[in-house]
């Protein structure tokens, strides 16, 4: 299946620093073993497949924003287990898996990751390596 990426990610995927991607999957399309045509410019004349691979595994992920007394906090759950959180206003991480999650998803910091995922998110972590959380 074709999976599109922003232009900032192909080099990180090819170098091995981006090890998975987070995607909404409302129709449950992604499954272990599926062929992945990693591409940029999907559905445009600039289409380019930069890597062929296979989906090595799937994990469910939820990112939940919570606000109390004008302070925001983000909870992150993988396969229904709490793996940590983040205070965006203070750039504070709770839980040792949050920074690796951000780095392995192709971001340089937790702050950058949560700027990308800036609201509640429910979906899947699509792995093409053996990494799991």
pTM exceeding 0.85 = yes
Per-residue pLDDT of the chain (133 residues; tens, 9 = 90+): 999 999 999 999 999 999 999 999 999 999 999 999 999 999 999 999 999 999 999 999 999 999 999 999 999 999 999 999 999 999 999 999 999 999 999 999 999 999 999 999 999 999 999 999 9
Cβ burial, residue 110 (10 Å; 0-12/13-18/19+): buried
pLDDT at 19: 98
The Cα 95–Cα 75 span in angstroms is: 10
Q: What confidence score (pLDDT) does residue 76 get?
A: 98
Count of beta carbons in the 10 Å neighbourhood of residue 99:
16
The token pair at 45 is 């004349």
β-partners of residue 77 are 62, 82
Which of 24, 123, 119 shows the shortest CA–CA distance to 72?
119
């Amino acid at each position: 299946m074709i999976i599109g990426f922003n232009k900032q990610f192909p080099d990180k995927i090819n170098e091995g620093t981006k090890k998975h991607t987070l995607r909404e999957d409302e129709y449950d399309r992604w499954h272990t073993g599926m062929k992945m045509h990693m591409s940029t410019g999907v559905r445009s004349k600039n289409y380019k497949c930069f890597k062929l691979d296979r989906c090595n595994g799937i994990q469910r992920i939820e990112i939940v924003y919570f606000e109390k007394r004008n302070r925001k906090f983000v909870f992150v759950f993988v396969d229904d287990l709490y793996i940590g959180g983040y205070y965006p206003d203070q750039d504070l991480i709770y839980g040792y898996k949050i920074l690796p999650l951000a780095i392995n998803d192709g971001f340089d910091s937790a702050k950058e990751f949560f700027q990308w995922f800036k609201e509640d998110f429910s979906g899947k972590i699509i792995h093409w390596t053996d990494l799991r959380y």
